[in-house]
Amino acid sequence: MVILIIFLALFAGTRLDIDQDYHMYYKNFLYIEDSLKDFNNREISIEYNIFFLPHFFEIFFNNNLTVVRSVFLTFALLGVSTKLIAIKKYSDYFFLSVISYMSYLYFMMEMTTIRAGVAAGFYLLSIKALEEKNNKVFFAIVAVCFFFHSSSILFLLPWILNKIRLQIKYYYLLIFISFLSAVFKINVLTLLLLDRIFPRVDTYMKVMEWQKEDETNIFNFRTLFALLMVVLFAFFYKKLKDVKYFDLLFKIHMVSIILFFFLSTSAQVFSTRSFELLSVVQILLYPMILKAFHPKLRILGWTLIFAFSLIQLYYIISVADIYKPYKSWFFN
């Protein structure tokens, strides 16, 4: 596993300008403010990891380019290692979980949304604490998540729902209601006045209007497959509910869909990234479908996960047009 972590971290962390967010991060790391006071006075606030990591590596390196590369590599190492350690600890199907991870989330989180990637990795490690209601450990991990990405506040929603012991039928109901809100284009953010409470929400919505951003496609492939898995897991729920971590992971999975639908009429950046942030649990949850089948029929579960992973991989590499041809300062 150590070799896999090193390879995946190097592949993602040494990439050059191949993704949409690379230049933004490169400039932030290269031209970081000298003082914390100046950093806090930024017109658009950003998480403190952007300030502290470059300055940490400046202790060891005098070359700005080396500092920038070190920060990128650190994000990749943290994002990859946390997820693979979580897979090793919590998944009964290590290989399938790794395949699920590498077919999509590895590219999106470790090679594009790198702050969210690290936050999601640490959140995956908190599953045991969340399951066992070890609040001290859970909130300590969420604090680390928040240091890397402010959207980690979403991680508290499953904790709240788990705390009040919301019955499974209400999750199904919320999926239905959130789907209707998406179909009838009800903007939940403005309805709940969240654009007035949180300045960043209002900023994103104004940017969306200015850029004339396309509407979120609520019938995209990943969402449809996520709904398919909800149907399958709901059908086998009685059989699977006592499997360790299943009930918790399944509910978090449904929360990610609920948020996606509720936020789909506001901005793609909210709906898609909130879905992807919480969908990190899929790499532990989806392989559990094997436990629903008789041992002689588990090939059906393997086929389902493999097929989905291959389609995801094909989509993100050949269809989505997100990445340029791969370049690396280490491998080339």
The ranges assigned to domains in the chain are 2-319
pLDDT at 239: 94
d(CA 165, CA 162): 5
pLDDT for the residue numbered 20 = 87
Q: What is the pTM of this model?
A: 0.91
Q: For residue 216, what pLDDT is reported? A: 74
Name, in order, each residue with C-beta under 8 angstroms of 118's C-beta and a sequence gap of 6 or more: 49, 75, 78, 79, 82, 145, 148, 149
Cα-Cα end-to-end distance for the chain: 24
Question: Do 50 and 88 contact (CB within 8 A), yes or no?
Answer: no
| Distance from C-alpha of 84 to C-alpha of 61, rounded to nearest angstrom | 29
Pair 218, 272: CB distance under 8 Å:
no
- For residue 197, the model assigns a pLDDT of 44
User: Can you say whether residue 215 is alpha, beta or left, with left for phi > 0 and alpha for psi between -120 and 50 degrees?
Assistant: beta
> What is the pLDDT at residue 200?
54
Contact between residue 87 and residue 97 where contact means Cβ atoms under 8 Å apart? yes
List the chain pLDDT tens, one digit each, 332 residues.
899 999 999 999 999 999 989 999 999 999 999 899 989 888 778 899 999 999 999 999 999 999 999 999 999 999 999 999 999 999 999 999 999 999 999 999 999 999 999 999 999 999 999 999 999 999 999 999 999 998 899 999 999 998 898 999 999 999 999 999 888 887 776 655 455 545 555 555 554 444 445 667 888 888 999 999 999 999 999 999 999 999 999 999 999 999 999 888 776 667 788 899 999 999 999 999 999 999 899 999 999 999 999 999 998 888 777 888 999 999 87
CA distance 139 to 129: 9
Amino acid identity of residue 306, one-letter, is F
Predicted confidence at residue 196, as pLDDT, reads 52
CB 286 within 8 A of CB 226: no
pLDDT of residue 211: 47
DSSP 15: B
**In Å, what is the CA distance from 191 to each residue of 161, 180, 188, 194?**
22, 15, 5, 8
